[in-house]
Structure 1
Amino acid sequence: MKKTVISSINTTLDQAICLLKTIDIHNYNETCVGPYHSSIGSHIRHTLDFFDCIIRGLDSNEIDLTSRQRDEVLAVDPIAALQCIRSVQHTLKSYIDTNTDYLLHVTDDMGCGKITVNYTLESILAHANSHALHHYAIIGYIMHSLGISYEISGFGYNPTTPVTKRTGI
């Protein structure tokens, strides 16, 4: 199962690679779309932050999703983001043969303060993939508002969304 989860995540990250290879730096950094005025780059950075928290916390078995690095270079430089994605993909592939017969302690703030819950490696990675898809959908709204049209198969859609219901990028 772990191999399938990691393969799925790498497919999701490949969609971001396609985006980064086609979008210009101005549109990557544009913040004119309300109501949040966030850029495509800020959503890519945020998505990568989530994976970084997992990678940094795995060895100590203390994954803290509230302790994001927020590397702003990734938010403004699509080349740096592309390099980071490739690094994450490489690291994830190294987990395929990792023993995961134990629970990981994952800390997050769900609105009422920090709490720590138990996850398996597969479940936190599945969560990270869903999180990425959620932000890709937001990126899709930003791109639509900016009048940007790119063909990236499945970008921003949960794989369970029927193909006939998918429109847009």
Structure 2
Amino acid sequence: MNNIIESSLLTLQKSKDLLLKLSNEELSDASVSPYYSSIGSHLRHIYDFYYCSLEFNNEGKIDLTSRKRDLTVENCCNSASNYLNKIIESLQAVEGKLTDSIIVIDDLGCGKIEIDYTYSALLAQANSHTIHHYAIIGYILDRLNITFEDSNFGYNPTTPKKERVLVKN
């Protein structure tokens, strides 16, 4: 299996593990300031990015501005798990396309533009994007006093790890 797909599957497995731990109430809790977003809204956003990355429009382009945005994913662990499983199945089927050149449509702040990519570059972006959102989810988990045992959750593999020093009084 290609390293980009393998890395994405490994990263997405973390949210699969997280969904097994959460209740629907914890998934949808949007009480944490300053943004009042929920774990579910971040997971839905991650999954929408992947889903969109795996779907070509009728012009053969991938339009990142045209995402699914199924809001039930934000409130129901089963819906989120089902959506994730579909993404994982689709991701496993694209290995032969990784070197293909593609056109990606996105809005970087000045309106929609078309960008030349390879499929592998888009999947690498999706993986990094996921890790970034895991870091935000990590803050939400902390504020909601939910423990999730994964010391690498939300950390890019290239991030230096800070040694924890326990101070005894």
TM-score, normalised with respect to structure 1: 0.90
After the TM superposition, list the runs of 4 or more consecutive aligned residues in structure 1 that deviate by more than 4 angstroms: none
The aligned counterpart of 2:42 is 43
CA contact (8 A) 2:104 2:114 kept: yes
Deviation at 1:102, TM superposition (A): 3.3
Give the 3-state SS of the residue equivalent to 1:57 in structure 2.
coil
Count of matched residue positions in the alignment of Structure 1 and Structure 2: 164
Structure 2's unaligned 5+ residue stretches are: 165-169
1:41-80 maps to which residues of 2 (within 5 A)? 41-57=40-56, 60-80=59-79
Q: CA deviation at 1:153?
A: 4.0
Percent identity between the aligned chains? 41
Query: For 2:163 and 2:83, how far apart are their aligned partners in 1?
Result: 32
Kindly state the Cα deviation for residue 81 of structure 1 after the two structures are TM-superposed.
Answer: 0.9
Which has the larger Rg?
2
Where does residue 127 of structure 1 map in the other structure?
A: 125
Counterpart-to-counterpart distance in 2, 1:91 and 1:155: 23
Cα distance, 1:78 vs. partner? 1.1
1:143 match: secondary structure: helix
Q: Aligned equivalents of 1:162 and 1:101: distance in 2?
A: 30
Unaligned runs of 5+ in 1: none
Deviations 1:53-109 (A, max 9, x none): 11111785311111011010111111111121122111111112x244431110111
Instruction: Identify the match of residue 118 of structure 1 among 116, 119, 123.
Output: 116
Q: Which amino acid aligns with 2:115?
A: V
Asked if the contact 1:19/1:152 (under 8 Å) is kept, the reply is no
- Matched with 2:85 is 86
Alignment correspondent of 1:137: 135
Cα RMSD (Å) of the superposition? Answer: 1.8
Alignment TM-score, normalising by the size of structure 2: 0.90
Secondary structure at the residue paired with 2:54? helix
Alpha-carbon offset, residue 110 of structure 1: 0.6
